Structure 1
Amino acid sequence: MFKLFKVVLAVLLAFATLFAKEPDGNKKYDIDISRMSGTMVYGQVYQMVMYPSKYLGKHIKMKGIFSSYYDEELKRRFYGCVIADALACCSQGLAFELAKPRKYPEQYPAEGDAIVVEGDFDYEKDEGGSGFPIIRNAEMQTEK
């Protein structure tokens, strides 16, 4: 009888872990760059830039420096999270697009402020046939 109880308990615990949900407020990320070392960050972002199709739709979290750029030809402002490598010599960045647009510059951090961005990885093609990775449906917070 005791063995049967152990078996039933083990099966119930296995099912409980399979169907357990994350508590609200603890979001899951497919890739959390914010917790990686500088060397790992460089390698991960390089992979995302070079092989974007492997990352399409993945939920990404990253930490870096806020940057923006206005493209005169496209009449469009781009926002980026610049991530430094271990030696801070080979910075890379990923563009992001907020889920809830804000007014620039009033509702954005200052250039160079530390930020945390999370959102869904996508790839935007331009008219010339090339393109760039972009984090869509993003949420951005300044880091204190």
Structure 2
Amino acid sequence: MKKLQKWLILFVGILLITGCRDNASSNKKVNNGKSVNDVLEKQTKAEEQKEQTEEKDKKKESTDTSENTETEDVDYDLTEMNSDMVYATVYQMMMEPEQYEGKTIRIDGNYYISKDEATGNTYHFCVIKDALACCAQGLEFVRKNEEELSDEDYPEQETEIIVQGTFETYKEPNDETLYCRITDADMQIKK
């Protein structure tokens, strides 16, 4: 029993001695890593710079395009933009359609058709695929004199086309969803 008491006293003594030593070295906190706020701030600044660059590119491309097409007045020519700008522009059209309302748009992509069995309506689309083919986006279009056209006046599905017309939004009867499309459109098969 006395041996046990000696070991217990020795253990408690060592514990007290080590617990009372100077903590100067343990108070030095090493934080070489970045805080969450630093990382978020850096990413936010990078994103803002990217958006500013994209806006400048869009303005420059829009200016370049208008200089190249003397007879045509196109506000947004997506056929002249790189894939990132096309994706960003179409995404922006979907998110803030009021900014594009009434603007002349030119896009190129693959032709697709869809028929709504419930309403009997037929919808025509130009689907724009990105370089990785993961994030395809598209716009519905309505050609000039649509009522006078038949199925033979349209190409086969997945044919590459160019569509130019006026951007507008609309709602279907009994549906509160806001849809976007290009109206009074000219469609050409891409060569």
Same fold per superposition (TM over 0.5): yes
Matched, 1:35 2:80: yes
Q: What pairs with 1:3-18 in structure 2 (closer than 5 Å)?
A: none
Q: Secondary structure at the match of 2:168?
A: strand
- SS of the counterpart of 1:34? helix
Tell me the SS of whatever aligns to 1:66. strand
CA distance in 2, matches of 1:86, 1:35: 15
Deviations 1:86-122 (A, max 9, x none): 3221100100000122201x11110000000000000
Identity of aligned residues (%): 38
1:77 aligns with 2:119: no
**If you compute each CA radius of gyration, which structure gives the higher value, 1 or 2?**
2
Higher relative strand content: 1
Task: Please state if 1:61 is matched with 2:72.
Answer: no
Deviation at 1:42, TM superposition (A): 0.7
Does residue 132 of structure 1 match 2:179? Answer: yes
Residue 162 of structure 2 is matched in structure 1 by 116
- Specify the code of the residue in structure 2 equivalent to 1:132: Y
> What are the superposed Cα offsets for residues 22-78 of structure 1, whole Å, 9 maximum, x if unpaired?
9x9730200001111111111100000111111000000000000000001121100
Tell me if the contact between 1:38 and 1:85 (Cα under 8 Å) persists in the aligned partners. yes
Higher RCO, 1 or 2 (CA under 8 Å, sep at least 6)? Answer: 1
Contact 1:38 1:87 in 2 (8 A): no
In structure 2, C-alpha distance between the alignment counterparts of 1:114 and 1:100, rounded to whole Å? 21
Long gaps (5+) in structure 2: 1-66
TM superposition score normalised by structure 1: 0.80
Q: Residues of 2 paired with 1:87 and 1:37: CA distance? A: 13
**Structure with more helix by fraction:** 2
Q: Which runs of 4+ in 1 moved over 6 A?
A: none
Which ranges of structure 1 fall in alignment gaps of 5 or more residues?
A: 1-21
Say whether 1:142 aligns with 2:189. Answer: yes
Q: Structure 1 residue 138: deviation in Å?
A: 0.3
Q: What RMSD, in angstroms, separates the aligned Cα atoms of the two structures?
A: 1.8
Instruction: Count matched residues.
Output: 122
Instruction: Supply the distance in 2 between the matched residues of 1:89 and 1:122 (Cα, whole angstroms).
Output: 26
Going from structure 1 to structure 2, the CA distance change for 1:25 and 1:140 (only over 3 Å counts) comes to farther
Distance 1:80 1:139 in 2: 13
1:119 and 1:75 mapped to 2: Cα distance? 24
TM-score by length of 2: 0.61
SS at match of 2:102: coil
